[in-house]
Amino acid sequence: PLWRDPWITFNAETYAHDILKVCGGINVFAEREQINPLPAGEFLGITHDRRYPQVTLDDVIAAQPDVVLLPVSFHPLSHDGWGGSEQVHFTETDVASFMALAIPAAQHNRIHLVDGSLLTWHGTRIAYALRDLPPLLSGDSNP
């Protein structure tokens, strides 16, 4: 997920999906579209963006992910504009929420807090993504 309350993820039409794929991951929500465009995008004039679908924890259970990545930092986009105070930072409490789910990621302790810029910032950050994400996605990391 990229956001919580509500839970929001990304589909195959995003930069985050491409980075995940290049690093060896599989986006279990790749084909999912947002049924109703996100109200958070309205302040930017985005009224048709369907790349960031809202999901529930039941959707996560149904998708059975092998790995869950939770960003501890994220692009400074908030409901009140760039750099506002409503940025999402996932915590160990969120990890515990996912660990309680009947999913392979929880069963194999593969729910990770990650630097959100690895998935969402293009440019020089890609070098860090290519270094840091593959071990988490392949299971070669020591949590």
pLDDT digits (tens, 9 = 90+) for 36-57: 555 555 544 555 567 888 888 9
pLDDT given for residue 83 in this prediction: 46
Domain count, the chain: 1
Q: How confident is the model at residue 86 (pLDDT cuts 50, 70, 90)?
A: very low
Q: Within a domain: residue 143? A: no
Q: Within a domain: residue 87? A: yes
Q: Within a domain: residue 44? A: yes
Q: Token pair for residue 80?
A: 């009140």
pTM score, whole prediction: 0.80
With a cut of 60, say whether residue 77 has pLDDT above it: no
Q: What is the CA radius of gyration of the chain?
A: 15
Q: How confident is the model at residue 64 (pLDDT cuts 50, 70, 90)?
A: very high
Q: Within a domain: residue 125? A: yes
CATH number of the domain encompassing residue 15:
3.40.50.1980
Structural domain including 76 reads 7-138
Q: Within a domain: residue 19? A: yes
Q: Within a domain: residue 1? A: no
Element containing residue 61 per DSSP (H, E): helix 57-63
User: If you ran DSSP here, which 8-state letter would residue 114 be given?
Assistant: E
